[in-house]
Amino acid sequence: MKRSKSIIKGNEEFAVKSSVIPDASAADWRANSPAGRRFVYMIELRNLSQRFPGPGGWVEALRNINLTIPQGEVFGIIGRSGAGKSTLVRTINLLTRPTEGNVVVGGLDLTLLSAGALREARREIGMIFQHFNLLSSRTVFDNVALPLELAGASRADIEAAVLPLLDLVGLSAQKDRYPSQISGGQKQRVGIARALASQPKVLLSDEATSALDPETTRSILDLLKRINRELGLTIVLITHQMEVIKQVCDRVAVLDAGRVVEEGRVIDVFLQPHHEVTRALIGDVIAQELPPALKARVAERLKTGSGHLLRLAFTGSGVDQPILSETIRRYELDFNILHGQIDEIQGQAFGSLAVLAGGEPGKVGQALAFLREQGVVVEELSYVE
């Protein structure tokens, strides 16, 4: 007799006398699709680990990953090359099966599905890639139609599905062109439309803008955000560029050596990064390094104990309020602004300053407390970056 195994659907747990969920027909699967299942998170990764054999032994690509992604969120996963990003995104649709842990999408544990049921489940998970993967012998229309053809849809149903998608991604006028006749940005739009053809609930984006120029990247990210807003699609976006995260994501997880080292709302991570990898990635977007000559002078002053090097971060209305002026007047301090930048994150103003503060020690402490009361994130540094 087969051992009973617990299967989790949403917050409910039940046992089946099988090692996997048996094959289901398309009709049975769709009757139990995310629209009909109750769940808290669209995606849950539970204690996920992935090991590969390597020349010198086992390589740990992922180490005990735990992430939850609500329905309708744009979630970013960022890290340097080799951090495990692509391995992680490929476990979400089980293109790579994890060594340990569970992958729950739409309330259903994919790691427990049979091959047939997994094929059905993957129809609800679209994916776009860095290199487009279009068929050169097929037109734009036919590339988008391919998943529907493979699913056995009629020509009438294919046209009814594909034409609105081409309109959504702005390629109606290019529907009869071939990949060689369109730009890189247009090719990625074809890839996005193709990924949406099966009406997925989740869209995975694996470095989809890495091969594009900055202007085209912005247009593709704007398109993904519009798709998220209009279709309610959950999007998981893999990238090594914090600029991409800043432009489009609601929350972010920072990956390093296969581990999640930091996670949170994008604005919070920018305001107060904790891990050195996160700081370095943010530094690619918001410059925090001082010019070498200035850095040397500041370092000398810090050695004498005559100044305090501060990093101040503001959001929202704090960006355009005279908080620093008020602090200087109230506590009789000298503030030397070494570096400053104002940006926007998800429609919210964000400001960052590097400041060298001088004054009576007691008043400096009071000033820092006052700044924090005003909602300013204050970090006192004992070194010069």
The pLDDT of residue 374 is: 84
Spatial separation of the C-alpha atoms in residues 355 and 327, rounded to whole Å: 13
- Residues 221 and 346 placed together within one structural domain of the fold: no
The pLDDT of residue 291 is: 67
Residue 94 domain-assigned (yes or no)? yes
Q: Do the strands 57-69 and 202-206 form a parallel or antiparallel pair, or are they unpaired?
A: unpaired
- Residues 23 and 111 placed together within one structural domain of the fold: yes
In CATH, what number is assigned to the domain containing residue 29?
3.40.50.300
Spatial separation of the C-alpha atoms in residues 17 and 6, rounded to whole Å: 9
Q: Is the pTM of this model over 0.75?
A: yes
The domain tally of the chain equals 2
Spatial separation of the C-alpha atoms in residues 220 and 235, rounded to whole Å: 13
361-373 vs 323-331: helix crossing angle, rounded to 10? 150
| Token pair of 75 as six digits | 């979630």
Residue 146 domain-assigned (yes or no)? no
Residue 328 domain-assigned (yes or no)? yes
In CATH, what number is assigned to the domain containing residue 375?
3.30.70.260
Residue 181 domain-assigned (yes or no)? no
Alpha helices, DSSP H only, in 169-263? 184-196, 214-231, 242-248
| Token pair of 385 as six digits | 């970056």
Of residues 87, 124, 85, the one with CA closest to residue 105 = 124
Compute the chain's Rg from CA coordinates: 25
Domain containing residue 303: 292-381
The pLDDT of residue 363 is: 85
The pLDDT of residue 14 is: 33
- Residues 210 and 353 placed together within one structural domain of the fold: no
- Residues 105 and 208 placed together within one structural domain of the fold: yes
The pLDDT of residue 89 is: 93
- Residues 247 and 311 placed together within one structural domain of the fold: no
**One-letter identity of residue 101:** G
The pLDDT of residue 66 is: 97
| Token pair of 364 as six digits | 């400096």
Residue 364 domain-assigned (yes or no)? yes
- Residues 44 and 120 placed together within one structural domain of the fold: yes
With a cut of 50, which residues of the chain have pLDDT below it?
1-22, 24-27, 29-31, 384-385
Residue 254 pairs in a beta bridge with 78, 262
